[in-house]
Structure 1
């Protein structure tokens, strides 16, 4: 096999997550220089999947989307049910050298992470037992991108199945790539926006960032963090329409103890049910959760100048916003007379709204210049480069 450049050493396609063999590359060329590639024969270890069809069925039950399961099915068929355990090289968790003296490392470490996490959890909460044992009652979930689909779904699951008395993760949460201004987020190229920077060094709130990211969640395909779109969403939907409607509803709240009127409950019940469906472990969809919140924010059938409607809308908003915009949710929940964070029990319980003398904006208006401190130099807005 050829000595591969760093971007191909993992033998993975970043577009679909499929593995490829080095000998399958057509006319391979070095990334740097023009010296010919050096071909080296290296022995690798593989594991034979006992029942590929059963493995695919379990992946489907765990919440993996059909598009990713198709990648795994093609891989298992092409590789005759074998998954790679070691790869040539010396970067990673070392494995013994092959009979030619070539260094090898473990090809994927998802099953090692699983066992390590379970070991640490056992140290902290021994009463729950080891989470990765087949006898465990603990529910486990792993989240990863498309480029790790074969490794974590086929590789780790197959290894865990082969280990005596162990099991793989119960559920998976997958995603495709997320771009920044049309180009892949890349820490090595500094083409990235750090979460702490956008919140700490710009007027953007964590709620606003979470709201936009939820809307753009790359669950079914590649999506893009477009700075101009982010600014428009925050300014129009949040700092504009939502803040104004919250202030209007708060101004018309009855300060007496009250509960949601029974005739107004159907619309809220439907939204609560949709939110619960968005967070089923076998079908998590942040986009669906965002859509429930987005629709409730507008909810034109509710007149928030009516005290009963205002109470219903604000209470529903607090509960439905909790996963996406927790700061706003907590603020509204306390203004409605509750303590702590929104809960399903409190949603349908009576409360006495608290009076606050002056309203305050929960979201600040953004501009390209205001976001410059968090943007990489590669991003240019309105002709002015951002500060790296």
Structure 2
């Protein structure tokens, strides 16, 4: 599944029953396939929709190996039933991505009928689908081919793909309970949602597998966030001038303008990169050329922090934006607008220092036991 390809029963070596030693009973079953009319055009559309070259290559290999055919039905009874074959064998729909697409569009039309059906060729709605490498063939080759074959419909405009994310070196798996649940890590440990989002953005598996290492997460929170960032925010807030409205010094604006441009590029629909957005924020957090003990530099740095952190650390971003005298959430239109900083009226979101032991309540038993064994 890590390569994105489909399992082919004819490729099995020495097949045998999973239980018992009875001989296999072979059954001939007819399946339905769809021939991709224009494979080259499909691959080109994948490339322009945001799929990385490595994922497009997966689709190219699949189409070549399968002679441009996409499976539509599979033998069995589990799934959405299709008519039995001519031998009476039950079949189900195999390629379900297009069904999900049409269902999403139906639900959207129910909620906002003025926008019409999002998956029609005539629609002006922009659609995006996100999935992992193990669903690449199903959602790119299969769904796109089916939607293209439907006379009045179209596939998703953009795709957001990812590779596997590991936990302590082994794949996240809900079936094996080798997971960290989002609610648990922020409700049962001192870790904040902003800290978790910051680390996950840094580790986003966009071009290959990445890993959630407990010790590394603890170090990033303690050094980058609870240490350096919290300390710099304290200095900058203390340096703000609360007596009059302020705006960004024109001489300092280019520094922030470049970062804002990079952040916008990180969220282009045809090239989304959460890692790039994290890198923009990370570099702004450090900015050695800004002396945050000076009011003008402090105002600029905090305003940049609020805007650049909004997609990654929204709680901190909203707090800083309001301390600067703005209301609501950070907006690009208000970056250059004057505002009068407000004195502190509520507790500032802080990053609590962590230890591996403090994360134990959110970790699967296997990880906790592994840590205990190594410590012993």
Candidates 111, 115, 125, aligned match of 1:138:
125
1-structure distance, mates of 2:20, 2:252:
71
Any idea what SS the aligned residue of 1:378 has?
helix
Query: Which residues of 2 match residues 35-114 of structure 1 at below 5 A?
Result: 35-114=22-101
Deviation at 1:177, TM superposition (A): 0.5
Q: Does 1:202 align with 2:193?
A: no
CA displacement 1:160-195 (0-9 Å, x = unmatched): 011111000000000000011111111111111111
Instruction: Kindly tell me the number of residue pairs found equivalent between the two proteins.
Output: 372
CA displacement 1:206-257 (0-9 Å, x = unmatched): 1001000000000000111111111111111111110000001000011121
Q: Does 1:338 align with 2:326?
A: yes
1-structure distance, mates of 2:171, 2:179:
9
List gaps (5 residues or longer) in structure 1: 1-13
Q: Does 1:158 align with 2:138?
A: no
User: TM-score with structure 1 length normalisation?
Assistant: 0.93
Any idea what SS the aligned residue of 2:252 has?
helix
Match of 2:297 in 1: 309
1-structure distance, mates of 2:293, 2:22:
75
Greater shift in the superposed pair: 123-132 or 97-106 = 97-106
Candidates 207, 210, 213, aligned match of 1:223:
210
2-structure distance, mates of 1:57, 1:149:
15
Deviation at 1:20, TM superposition (A): 3.8
1-structure distance, mates of 2:88, 2:183:
46
Q: Does 1:176 align with 2:163?
A: yes
Candidates 247, 271, 275, aligned match of 2:259:
271
CA displacement 1:127-149 (0-9 Å, x = unmatched): 11110000000000000000100
User: TM-score with structure 2 length normalisation?
Assistant: 0.96
Q: Is 1:258–1:350's contact at 8 Å kept on the other side of the alignment?
A: yes
Match of 1:9 in 2: none
Shift in CA distance, 358/174, structure 1 to aligned 2, threshold 3 Å? closer
Shift in CA distance, 358/340, structure 1 to aligned 2, threshold 3 Å? closer
Query: Which residues of 2 match residues 300-379 of structure 1 at below 5 A?
Result: 300-356=288-344, 360=348, 362-379=350-367
Q: Does 1:127 align with 2:114?
A: yes
List gaps (5 residues or longer) in structure 2: none
